[in-house]
């Protein structure tokens, strides 16, 4: 074997070994990240991160149904009805019975498994014509009023980051997680 060819082969072999060491394998090298993300602090995300769940804490503030009645009448009733039982073109929030043989109406009271969903959804998406226009306190007040209309709390119960996740919804056990 020609010596220079042998040297060239050795160089190629060493390069390949280097490559292997750096990138595990060729496929991984094709997906090597340029790593351009900017590191941020959780605190910076408070205005953006609207997730409210058992695991993602709800914000400070609180409200009662008594306080929420007026906001509901002003900003929610046009679509959801004065009593929450539905307007001309939107789904009801109140009433129904998922176990009724006639009409298994899916409302907050009859169907929603988690109370935190109510805060999460109203804060991010309601009212439909002006999402994110309510303060956290107003969201708590409206959440309390919807729960009150469903007979789940009394009108003076304080709804906040501590009390809302503890509220057991009537249909909490009604779901089968198909991802398992």
Partner 1 sequence: MAENSDLAVAGNGLLSRRLLLGLSLGGAAASASSSLLGAEATRFVIPEWSKKPGPGPSAYGQPSPFTTGIQRDPGRANPLYPGGGASRTPLHQLRGTITPNGLHFERHHAGVPAIDPAGHQLVINGLVKKSLSFNYDDLIRYPMVSRIQFLECSGNSGALFRDNPPDGTAQSIHGLVSCAEWTGIPLSVLLEDAGVDTAAQWLSAVGADAASMGRSIPLSKALDDVIVALFQNGEPLRPEQGYPMRLFVPGWEGNVSVKWLTQLKLSREPSQFRDETSKYTDTLADRSSLQFTFPMGVKSIITSPSGHMQLREQGLYQIEGLAWSGAGRISKVEVSADGGNSWAEALIDSQAGDKSLARFRLPWRWNGSAAKLISRATDSSGAIQPTRTQLLSEKGNLAFYHFNAQQCWGVDTSGLVNNVYV
Q: Which residues bind partner 1 (CB under 8 A)?
A: 30-42, 45, 48-51, 53-56, 78-79, 87-90, 98-99, 104, 106, 108, 111-114, 116-117, 120-121, 124-125, 128-129, 131-132, 171, 174-179
CB of 50 to partner 1, least distance (A): 6
Burial class (CB in 10 A: 0-12, 13-18, 19+), 141: buried
Question: Among residues 67 and 116, whose Cβ is nearest to partner 1?
Answer: 116
Shortest Å distance, C-beta 44 to partner 1: 8
Of 18 and 56, the one with the shorter C-beta distance to partner 1 is 56
Contact 105, 153 (CB under 8 A): no
The distance of closest approach from Cβ of residue 118 to partner 1 in the complex, given in angstroms and rounded to an integer, is 8
Report, in Å, the least distance between residue 173 CB and partner 1: 9
61 or 165: whose CB is closer to partner 1? Answer: 165
Which DSSP letter does residue 59 get? P
3-state SS, 77-140, equals HHHHCCCCCCCCCCCCCCCCCCCCCCCCCCCCCCCCCECHHHHHHHHHHCCCCCCCCCCHHHHH
């Amino acid at each position: 074997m020609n010596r220079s060819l042998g040297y060239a082969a050795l160089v190629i072999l060493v390069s390949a070994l280097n490559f292997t060491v750096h990138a595990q394998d060729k496929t991984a090298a094709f997906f090597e990240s340029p790593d351009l993300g900017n590191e941020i602090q959780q605190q910076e995300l408070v205005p953006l991160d609207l997730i409210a769940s058992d695991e993602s804490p709800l914000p400070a503030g609180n409200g009662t149904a008594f306080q929420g009645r007026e906001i509901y009448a002003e900003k929610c009733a046009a679509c959801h009805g004065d009593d929450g039982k539905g307007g001309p073109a939107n789904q009801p929030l109140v009433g129904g019975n998922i176990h009724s043989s006639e009409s298994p109406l899916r409302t907050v009271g009859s169907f929603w498994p988690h109370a935190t969903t109510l805060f999460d959804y109203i804060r991010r998406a309601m009212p439909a014509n002006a999402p994110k226009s309510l303060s956290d306190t107003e969201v708590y007040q409206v959440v309390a009023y919807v729960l009150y209309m469903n007979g789940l709390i009394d009108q003076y119960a304080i709804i906040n980051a501590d009390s809302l996740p503890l509220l057991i919804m009537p249909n909490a056990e009604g779901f089968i997680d198909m991802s398992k």
